[in-house]
Amino acid sequence: MAHSEWITQAADEWNKRAASWHEESAGRWEKGSRKRILPLLTTYVKPEDGPLLDAGCGDGYASWKLALQGYTVEGVDLSTEMIEWAQKHMTDGAKLHFQQGDISSLPFADETFAGILSINVVEFTPFPLKTLREFHRLLPRNGHLLLGILGPTAGPRAFSYRRLYDESIIQNTMMPWEAKQLAEENGFTTVEMIPVYKEAISPEIAASLPEDLQQAVSFMTLFVLKKA
């Protein structure tokens, strides 16, 4: 599928899902699979370091939470419906801005952001390498990228199933271990890896597994990456 066709199809799909995503968004970030993400990000990037990019911001919940902590945040999402939800978080004085866009080609100068947050988004881009290179361009040396990649049995992986019928899909099949390797081959070093295990998995047992198997039994894996 051509890049432009993929982008159009993906935007249409997420526009349809925007309202239902918004209904569950706060729960995901506060108590669900994403509850560890913002505390992790704020360990590595401080408000005084510079602005943050929320690449694939969805309904803007995480961007808003970061702005409340004093960060300047730019949220970008492919879906115009998601951006409309995100803009409802805007309040007077908030250092927060949202825009629709393709995260693999963004209108910002080199080294604009002190840190980048991108959770379960790169899997939905047609060319993950291009997206990672764009993130690399936007960070200064030693800037941090917090990347979340879905595990192989995570529910959203169902988006890719119809490829078996030779149908167009909006999800690439990049696995967490592949994302790590791709990032490390293109200017990033891995600082930390945190599996977010599926509910049926015992963290104590999983911790004894090799790294790739930990990722395989996770809902998603979080990678803290630093621009070399």
**What pLDDT shows up at residue 216?**
95
101/78 Cα distance (integer angstroms): 5
**What pLDDT shows up at residue 93?**
74
Residue 156's CB is within 10 A of a number of other CB atoms, namely 14
108: containing domain: 3-227
**What pLDDT shows up at residue 90?**
81
- Coil, helix or strand at residue 40: helix
Task: Please report, for the domain that includes residue 23, its CATH number.
Answer: 3.40.50.150
**What pLDDT shows up at residue 199?**
87
- Coil, helix or strand at residue 120: coil
127/48 Cα distance (integer angstroms): 32
Residue 142's CB is within 10 A of a number of other CB atoms, namely 11
Sites in the chain below the pLDDT cut of 70 = none
Domain count of the fold of the chain: 1
pTM of the model: 0.94
Q: Are strands 144-150 and 188-197 parallel, antiparallel or unpaired?
A: unpaired
